[in-house]
């Protein structure tokens, strides 16, 4: 699809799926894009876990052959994909189109100024209970699409996962809903490596 065709699709309610890694996504992406990092092994599973099937999608991946493979994978499990952006971000910018960014902080900045943020942990419950940042709210990525609009915070939302793949996905969904979200690059792996404190929750009682 040309940038003009993508603009038209956005006007019809299409959602851009940006399949690049979180770093380039954070630097610049198409307005409202959702960051679902590509891989062949479980892209279909992760898309099905997180995204609704009743909206149309446009794929942005680079280089173009990756976008075509991503499109096939998503169509194969029933997503409605209108096409992919030919020529990637360069073509989009050359067409004079606007980009958005996702602010990024690292765990040192988060630790230093923890009270300035509302920490949102987007891992699954079993990971969260094993050790999370004190006071972090649990919003599993699998529930993010439904719960994003209800997520509230007086402060900017610092979004955390194990590294930065799911956190970038959920942060991009929160941004779509007009929330002030930041990506905590490096996530819990970096947090634990620094030796910063974590809080553990009681495991769920086993069903008797």
Partner 1 sequence: MLEAADLGLTISGVLETHVHADFISCARELAEMNGCPHYVGERARDYVSYDFAPISDGQVLKLGQVRVEAIATPGHTPEHTAFLITDAARSEDPWCVLTGDSLFVGDVGRPDLLVGDSQFDVMDEAQRAEWQWLSIREKLFTLPDHVEVYPNHYGGSTCGGVNMSGKPSSTIWFEKHHNLAPAQAGPAAFAAFLRETAKPLPDNYTRIKSINLGLLEAEPVS
| Contacting positions for partner 1 (CB under 8 A) | 19-21, 24, 37-41, 61, 63-66, 69, 165
Least Å from the CB of residue 40 to partner 1: 6
94 alpha carbon, distance to own chain's centre: 25
Our CB check for partner 1 shows the closer of 132 and 166 to be 166
Our CB check for partner 1 shows the closer of 7 and 69 to be 69
Our CB check for partner 1 shows the closer of 133 and 159 to be 159
Least Å from the CB of residue 144 to partner 1: 20
> Helix or strand or coil: residue 59?
strand
- Give the CA distances from residue 141 to residues 32, 64, 82, 87, in Å, rounded to whole numbers and listed in that order: 17, 27, 24, 30
Least Å from the CB of residue 61 to partner 1: 7
| C-beta separation of 24 from 37 below 8 A | no
Length of the chain, in residues: 208
Our CB check for partner 1 shows the closer of 20 and 179 to be 20
Our CB check for partner 1 shows the closer of 67 and 174 to be 67
Least Å from the CB of residue 50 to partner 1: 17
Least Å from the CB of residue 175 to partner 1: 20
Q: Concatenated DSSP letters for 29-98?
A: B-TT-EE----TTTHHHHHHHH--SSSEEEEE-SSHHHHHHHHHHHHHTT-EEEEE-TTHHHHHHHTT--
> Helix or strand or coil: residue 39?
coil
């Amino acid at each position: 699809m040309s940038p003009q065709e993508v603009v038209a699709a956005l006007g019809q309610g299409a959602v851009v799926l940006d399949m690049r890694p979180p770093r380039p996504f954070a630097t610049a992406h198409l307005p409202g894009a959702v960051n679902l990092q590509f891989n062949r092994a479980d892209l279909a599973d992760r898309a099905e876990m997180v995204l609704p099937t009743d909206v149309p999608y446009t794929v942005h991946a680079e280089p173009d052959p990756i976008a075509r493979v991503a499109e096939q994978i998503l169509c194969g499990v029933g997503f409605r994909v209108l096409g992919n952006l030919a020529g990637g971000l360069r073509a989009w910018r050359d067409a004079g189109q606007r980009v958005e960014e996702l602010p990024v902080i690292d765990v040192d900045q988060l630790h230093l100024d923890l009270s300035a943020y509302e920490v949102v942990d987007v891992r699954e419950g079993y990971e969260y209970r094993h050790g999370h940042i004190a006071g972090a709210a649990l919003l599993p990525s699998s529930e993010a699409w439904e719960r994003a609009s209800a997520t509230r915070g007086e402060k900017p939302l610092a979004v955390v996962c194990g590294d930065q793949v799911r956190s970038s996905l959920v942060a991009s969904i929160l941004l779509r809903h007009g929330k002030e979200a930041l990506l905590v690059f490096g996530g819990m792996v970096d947090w634990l490596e620094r030796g910063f404190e974590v809080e553990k929750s009681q495991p769920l009682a086993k069903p008797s």
